[in-house]
Structure 1
């Protein structure tokens, strides 16, 4: 395991040893490209090797499909057509899943097909009696900003496409509503803290390069060019910056990352 995975695994073993009812739900928060999905899989493998029953749920797997997001775009704001921000997930499904896991029930975890931009027709069956659910995502555990912080756009996307602040205001309201309800079910929260938002564009670009390589090998998926990627990451900028400023003071464990994603002591 990497040093980051070893650090989190040690904390998880300690948390699992403490008295609790039902499975432990661990939130893993990190910006795009920070390595949270890779970390979750490494933790799953390591803890399963020790006899623990572990499953992984990504916030991405709760995405609404294109038609549902198109309805949000028509009724609230056009920017909700793009998946990613709060408002584009099925939080009710997430609440039901986390409650079922806590109760010790068998569940089917949803999966989202990003190539089709739709929920996958079949999920992953998870047996009853999990010890640990790893719930990972770019804004897992995020809290809303103060209302006055929404007044000034943080980038060109907000300035030009959300000049009245309707989109970012709705995102913020949802963080204090249905997303707060979902995130309240997290027992422990780990933050993979990027050195700053300025590295996220590069990290996300590396992910897109990997997708492009899959296309070259004949895999079917959607790949963004540089201009599309520049616009896309702006959807995430406000909340990513807020998370990096606010979450370290309350997360149960913070891993400070360098620009190459290595762990900073």
Structure 2
């Protein structure tokens, strides 16, 4: 009978991944999944696996692999959540931009998510019993707004595992003195008084910590540096441009200058996480510039 490893080509083809990803999946990711299963075997609640990774690190693909391996190959019932799916609506962010700071119009940083909705979703997933159903929120990035409920996927209880991935999952707030100092052109020119970054840090220190406290295990995909993250974001935009040019559609593609400004929204917290989360995460997978796994370190759960 074929094993999950024998069937992995199905996953690679579906996600349009190169065969080199198979080596990482078989040698690193699937052994990690089995390690996680063993660690959480004695849990008396539905465990939440948090996956932290900067933009372009491969966290969403890894979440999909975990889903494929545990649900489709092992018969467990897995719910996939992304922090991105809990963004405030476009109207809510426009209101924030008008009343608090214009930079809050751009989704991404703490303060631009509906954390009560995320907390409620995790609680409801954990409470689902046999036959109960729940719709999982989704965000439509194409229109920069929450998707209609008719487009939300449905899960059926009970749930064996919740996977929660996001670029700042597990992040801790900065010290006030660190927040005071602008670290890039965006902050110097568009947040000269520091109000935006102080608001973001205050949000992170409050309800976001409540959400991250729900994590039973934290995996970090650690990028080599923020400059590498910026390059990955540029690569993503180049691929988008090629796809759209093939269809004679170029709207929505950012120029290099626009990419530079965009990623500066996330530089502060990405750098902070690179410096602080390795000491907190239960597993740290250090990435090379091509997203190859260079090292894996485990830390016992407290």
- Is TM more than 0.5 here? yes
1:262 alignment partner, one of 271, 278, 292: 292
- Partners of 2:93 and 2:114 lie apart in 1 by 11
Contact 1:114–1:221 (CA<8 Å) still a contact in 2? no
User: What is aligned with 1:98?
Assistant: 122
User: What is aligned with 1:140?
Assistant: 169
Contiguous gaps of at least 5 residues in structure 1: none
1:125 alignment partner, one of 141, 154, 166: 154
Change in CA separation of 1:26 and 1:159 when aligned onto 2, cut-off 3 Å: same
Larger RCO (CA within 8 A; separation ≥ 6): 1
Change in CA separation of 1:216 and 1:16 when aligned onto 2, cut-off 3 Å: farther
Tell me how far 1:7 sits from its aligned partner. Answer: 4.3
Equivalent residues in 2 for 1:36-185, closer than 5 Å: 36-48=59-71, 49-105=73-129, 106-121=133-148, 122-185=151-214
Equivalent pairs, count: 264
Change in CA separation of 1:147 and 1:199 when aligned onto 2, cut-off 3 Å: same
Tell me how far 1:182 sits from its aligned partner. Answer: 1.2
Tell me how far 1:37 sits from its aligned partner. Answer: 0.3
Contact 2:128–2:158 (CA<8 Å) still a contact in 1? yes
| C-alpha RMSD over aligned residues | 1.6
Give 1 or 2 for the bigger CA radius of gyration. Answer: 2
Deviations 1:86-131 (A, max 9, x none): 1111111000001111223532111111111111112110111111
Q: Give 3-state SS (helix, strand or coil) of 1:135's partner.
A: strand
Tell me how far 1:40 sits from its aligned partner. Answer: 0.5
Contiguous gaps of at least 5 residues in structure 2: 1-21, 296-302
Contact 1:24–1:187 (CA<8 Å) still a contact in 2? yes
Deviations 1:130-181 (A, max 9, x none): 1111100000111101111111111000111111110000110111111111
Contact 2:241–2:250 (CA<8 Å) still a contact in 1? no
Change in CA separation of 1:235 and 1:7 when aligned onto 2, cut-off 3 Å: farther
Q: Give 3-state SS (helix, strand or coil) of 1:148's partner.
A: helix
- Partners of 1:91 and 1:50 lie apart in 2 by 31
Q: If the length of structure 2 is used for normalisation, what is the TM-score?
A: 0.84
Tell me how far 1:4 sits from its aligned partner. Answer: 4.2
